[in-house]
Structure 1
Amino acid sequence: MAAKALLKTFMRPRDAEAIRADIAAVDAAEAARAQVAVEAAARRQELVLEGDVDTLEAHDAKVRRAAVEAEVAAAKRVRLVEELRAAEEAAEQGRRNKLYAVATRAAAETRKLYLEEYPRVARQLAQILSRIGELSAQIDEANAALPDGKPRISNGEPNRGRDAIPDRYEPTTRRVYVDSRSGAEVVAFRPSDTHVVVEERDGPTSLVSLAQPAVPHVPLGAEVHLPGLAYGDAPFWGRRS
């Protein structure tokens, strides 16, 4: 068992980040090798002029080895790129599989909510609304023939309408020049007129919001619609659509 676990560890695909790091290392080494090749080419001309054959052969051997190393690195990079593509595809498939597993569980829960929870709760709500209707009918009957001196009975349902809203105005102010001796507004004056001062006075009212019509009260039961599950099924509450 330990041997199998160890084998699985070695066979486990590497993650994309590790492969990208290897590709970056290959590229960095190749960039350094290319710089060395440029320098080696310039140095060879010097060695040819110096005439030392042994040194020139040793130099050429290094250049040839560098070329072989570059060829090997290029092949390694091709393999790494293929490995990276496979790793990214595997990671994407893993992400999709996780989403699929979550969606599968969600579908099972949704089915239960549709087929079990919704009908149960819809029936409970329908029973509540039906009972409210029965009790409201009793209250309406009593209100239609109140005993002497008895007030009307409310069924307790909150008012779901509202009164009309009139136009809303707000006052404004204006800055004017005033003769401080008389309090009269002035339009033309000399800057040297010390009796002319600036005051803020009431301006015309400004419309800030338009009127809105009243909204009538609609009983809660008339607003609720609880459809059946499938096409053609009778609703749990409300009219058939």
Structure 2
Amino acid sequence: MIPRRRVALPLVAAVAAGGIVVLAGCAPERTDPVQALTFPAPTPAAVAAPSTSLAPLRVVTLGDSLMSGAGLPLDEAWPALLAQREDVSLTNLACGGMGFVVTGECGTAYAGFSPAIAALQPDLIIVQSSSNDFWEDSDEIRADTDDTVAQLHDAAPGARIVGLSTIWNDDPDVPDDTATTSDALRDAVDSVGGAFVDVGQPLVGHPEWLQDDDVHPTARGQKAIEQTVVSALQDAGVLP
């Protein structure tokens, strides 16, 4: 068993009276720091009778450029599509090039967003293992994934942590590294009482759902991911 080691936390969140500023939503075409991308739950139309609905589920998503919607308008990334549900208020902390091990374009790996999550105190944290960690040492992937998930749990102890498996592109020959990164996250979320959801490979067999770089999904590809993720989370009892 590999001893758990603390992952360094670069300063990526500044908490002030006015809110939270983080290096989030970065993608190849967005290299400057931006505010956390928060999508409030839609406001229901006025009704004659008093509303008895519960407060929307407060969700934070943490992932790489597939989650940030690289090459697309920010509102076409799959977390933004998820946020269109009436029962979800969502903040997307995804960043291009990032993984549990690899430092992304926001200057940090996933662990660096723990301060932002501590400030947000969500009900649900959805974190996805990343192909950016492919070709890294498998022991390091496991150690950093385990440690990062522990930090997320410590940052928001009241939140449920849900891990999503690694999504590859349209190639049916999915690399073995996909199992390495996904299994590491499965074990990590299990260790903190979270849940792991295998979303499969929603892009396989659909080259038309990828942009010209053959890596990042088009708007249609993002919609396919969102539909797959929502269905999987509903089957797992995470979303209603």
Q: Which has the higher strand share?
A: 2
| Bigger-Rg structure (1/2) | 1
Task: Flag the structure with more relative contact order, 1 or 2, with Cα contacts below 8 A and sequence separation at least 6.
Answer: 2
TM-score, scaled to structure 1? 0.15
TM-score (norm: length of structure 2)? 0.15
